[in-house]
Amino acid sequence: MSTLTFQGAVKEVTGSRYLLEVDGDRRIHRLLLECGLHQGGTDADAANARSFGRLPGELEAVVLSHGHLDHSGLLPKLVREGYDGPIHCTRGTRDLLEIMLQDAAFIMAKDVEWENKWRKRNGKPLIEPLYELKDVERTLSLCTSHGYGQPVSLSGGVTLVFHDAGHILGSAIVELAVPSGGQTRRLVFSGDLGNPSSVLMKDPEKLYEADLVLMESTYGDRDHRPLDETLEEFAQVLEEAHAAGGNVLIPAFAVGRTQEILYHLSVLYHEGRLRQQLVFLDSPMAIKVTELYHRARKSLDPDDLKVLNVAASGDTHRYLPILRMTRTVEESMAINRIHGGAIIIAGAGMCNGGRILQHFRYNLEKPSTRLVIVGFQAGGTLGRQIVDGAERVRVMGRDLAVKARVHTIGGFSAHAGQTQLLGWVGAFRHRPRAYLVHGEPGAQRALQMLLEQSGIEAEIPAYGDRIEL
């Protein structure tokens, strides 16, 4: 009998990883679904540092739903520890991995360099990064990309098909037909399901046949505000910031959220409703991803692109003329001389690193500043502390008073809300077993109760739980 073991993103949002063991004729075939980075605090750091043990040498394939680091960020560590088999993903995911994993390795190297300087001064043992650029290059060489709807034969007689998840470029719902106990069992993993109200991405595909469903539950306890209300709130915040004379800080994920925010800013600009003089995209990775989105615009929602008539040209200057892309550290630091009238979009989205921290140092203690939170903030992150109302936070070794006005605008989420999640899983015939992953316990329990009312048996697995298909 084939089995599935939950190794990550259980009762938490990050660290996606599931081990599929297929009972073949003479031996067990092992496939890994996802290999994500844990995010949020020292517990996450310890989980990321933990060795894979014998797993890299036992695996025959890795299957990846999309390129966000909480789904893909430990792949180079897996390769560093000995994995050399194929990594199956979509073409969009392969292109994003090249940008994201290289950036992650670069940041790790810098962080370890600073940490080791302190350790050397204090007589502590030195540490190594989880992986290096050479590990990323080896990882990318193992990637095999496939189109949506294209059946792919994997070891152990497993068949893989990717379906559009509508979350970010290349994101996929993973469908696996798995031999088990003399039958074929259909396992469907939602990956991260997109929000149908969000722009640029197409709506998530609905599937109708499954025996077992792994479903994300990030927003299992609530729906997002309607997009038109969200946009009005966003526009009002920008107007208030202009009146107060301060800057607007937007910590944004480099993939997906940044491109959506730029889209909405461009709409406001062309409607004559954007009073700010400059918009800075202060993230080298987000700049590369934005350029990739333009190159891959044929994969995006054509109706959204028509709004600004850029589908044919992809001209970023027409898209948002006041946009400035700051690639270098010197350009980023120069932004700190601007005391008002600017919108600054910078990573990281959960404020747990990146250039947004530097802008916090210069803007967070000003009452005229508007801090706009546009994405999910995992427990243990600086962003979560601020959203939860912290009056003081520690940023880059300094204690800062949070005097900026904080606005949480959840309607920009690239994740499906509660109603969309129920609609997606409700489309399956014959009520398959559901396992809720990628969610905090409260959100998972709320979704579990609603699913049970609909006649769908839903379980909330724990780390290490193993189930038969």
pLDDT at 312: 40
By three-state DSSP, how is residue 440 classified?
coil
| One-letter amino acid of 204 | P
How far apart, in whole angstroms, are the C-alpha atoms of residue 428 and residue 342? 47
How far apart, in whole angstroms, are the C-alpha atoms of residue 275 and residue 68? 33
Q: Does position 354 have pLDDT exceeding 90, yes or no?
A: no
pLDDT at 311: 38
pTM: 0.89
> How does DSSP assign 315-351, residue by residue?
-HHHH-TTEEE--SHHHHHHGGG--SSEEEEES-TTS
Select the CATH number that applies to the domain covering 227-412 from these four: 3.40.50.720, 3.40.50.11610, 3.40.50.10890, 3.40.50.300: 3.40.50.10890
What is the average pLDDT across 311-335? 80
The answer to whether the beta carbons of residues 64 and 168 sit under 8 Å apart is no
In the beta sheet, which residues pair with residue 401?
Answer: 392
pLDDT: which is higher, 308 or 339: 339
Q: Does position 309 have pLDDT exceeding 60, yes or no?
A: no
CA–CA distances in Å: residue 157 to residues 2, 20, 134, 160, 209:
12, 13, 32, 10, 19
Q: Does position 41 have pLDDT exceeding 80, yes or no?
A: no
Token pair recorded at residue 270: 């062309």
261-275 pLDDT tens trace: 999 999 999 999 999
What is the average pLDDT across 103-123? 91
Find, among 372, 355, 64, the residue nearest to 246 by Cα.
372
Q: Which of left, alpha, beta for 153 (phi over 0: left; psi -120 to 50: alpha)?
A: beta
CA end-to-end distance (rounded Å), the chain: 7
411-461 pLDDT tens trace: 888 899 999 999 999 999 989 999 999 999 999 999 999 999 999 999 999
Provide the percentage of residues in the chain whose pLDDT is more than 90: 80
Query: Across the chain, what does the average pLDDT equal?
Result: 93
pLDDT at 378: 79
Find, among 213, 219, 165, the residue nearest to 192 by Cα.
165
The CATH architecture that domain 3-222+414-468 belongs to is 4-Layer Sandwich (3.60)
What is the average pLDDT across 80-91? 98
Find, among 308, 267, 316, the residue nearest to 287 by Cα.
316
How far is C-alpha 431 from the chain's CA centre? 29
pLDDT at 348: 86
Q: Does position 255 have pLDDT exceeding 50, yes or no?
A: yes
Q: What is the DSSP letter of 245?
A: T
pLDDT at 349: 87
What is the average pLDDT across 219-225? 93
CA–CA distances in Å: residue 78 to residues 14, 51, 95, 255:
17, 9, 19, 23
Strands of 433-437's sheet in order across: 152-153, 159-164, 172-180, 183-189, 212-216, 433-437, 458-459
Domain(s) labelled CATH 3.40.50.10890 in the chain stretch across: 227-412
377-417 pLDDT tens trace: 878 889 999 999 999 999 988 999 999 999 998 788 889 99
How far apart, in whole angstroms, are the C-alpha atoms of residue 222 and residue 446? 9
How far apart, in whole angstroms, are the C-alpha atoms of residue 249 and residue 406? 10
Strands 248-251 and 342-346: parallel
Q: Does position 227 have pLDDT exceeding 80, yes or no?
A: yes
What is the average pLDDT across 291-315? 73
pLDDT at 313: 46
What is the average pLDDT across 364-374? 96
In the beta sheet, which residues pair with residue 459?
Answer: 435
The answer to whether the beta carbons of residues 65 and 174 sit under 8 Å apart is yes
pLDDT at 315: 52
Q: Does position 114 have pLDDT exceeding 60, yes or no?
A: yes
Q: Does position 314 have pLDDT exceeding 60, yes or no?
A: no
Domain(s) labelled CATH 3.60.15.10 in the chain stretch across: 3-222+414-468
Q: Does position 350 have pLDDT exceeding 90, yes or no?
A: no
Where does 96-171 show beta strands of DSSP type E? Answer: 143-146, 152-153, 159-164
The answer to whether the beta carbons of residues 364 and 398 sit under 8 Å apart is no
Q: Does position 103 have pLDDT exceeding 50, yes or no?
A: yes
